[in-house]
Copies of this chain bind each other. A is one copy, B any other.
Amino acid sequence: MNKEPLIGAMRQMITMFDQEAEKFLSFCYFKTFHQKEFLGRQGEVCQDIFFIIKGITRSLIVDTAGEEHTIHFSLENQFICDYTSFMLQTPATNSLQAVEETEVVVLPRKAIEWGYANLQQGDKLGRLIAEYYFIYFDIRLKNQYLFTPAQRYENLSKVFPNIHNRVPQHMIASYLGVSPVHLSRLKKSL
């Protein structure tokens, strides 16, 4: 397998010498998770960031009634973990689960820490990652205010056209914040 996609993603944010990149990568390794396997669990302190080479994961949170809520989907070429847990070293509130067979590059905490301390633009990388996710959350939150579940469903279908072939509908419903039965109803009326 090939770590190029990861290097490419990093080089979109900062400039790195080949030596720096190589050293950084030496802390990282590949791993494959099969369907429904957990990359991380609620309650554990998140110690790794994952970069998805192939596959889909979802972040989910379980409420006091035991219901699962899908908070995010993540696809190829994205970084994913419970960042709040990773940054603060507090127990994660989100679990991270493979929706289909998923290959990732694992970036352990020591890789990240080495990067912040030793990459020439380490802090800038951290800032840009945080800013990227900030913008992502900003958009997500606005969507909650501006759009109905039906509209959010249509938007999602545009951004991620073949989601229906890769993700079970009840997870999509959960992500949209409606019951699976209701999503089925909404689809019919579109």
Give the B-binding residues of A (Cβ under 8 A). Answer: 61, 63, 69, 71, 83-84, 87-88, 93, 123-124, 126-127, 130-131, 133-135, 137-142, 144-146, 177
Contacts and interface: CB of A to CB of B under 8 A. Distances in A.
- Count chain B CB atoms within 10 A of each CB in A63, A134, A137, A142 and give the residue with the most: A134
Residue of A83, A135, A144, A145 with highest tally of chain B CB at under 10 A: A145
B138 A69 contact: no
Contacts of A177: 144-145
Nearest to A175: B145
B134 A83 contact: yes
A141 B145 contact: no
B135 A88 contact: yes
Contacts of A133: 134
Contacts of A135: 84, 87-88
Task: Count this chain's copies in the assembly.
Answer: 2
A87 B131 CA distance: 8
Given A69-B145, A127-B127, 6 more contacts: A87-B135, A123-B124, A130-B131, A134-B137, A137-B138, A141-B141
Contacts of A83: 131, 134, 138
A134 B71 contact: no
Contacts of A124: 123
Contact of A93 (B71, B123, B142): B142
Contact of A142 (B71, B134, B139): B71
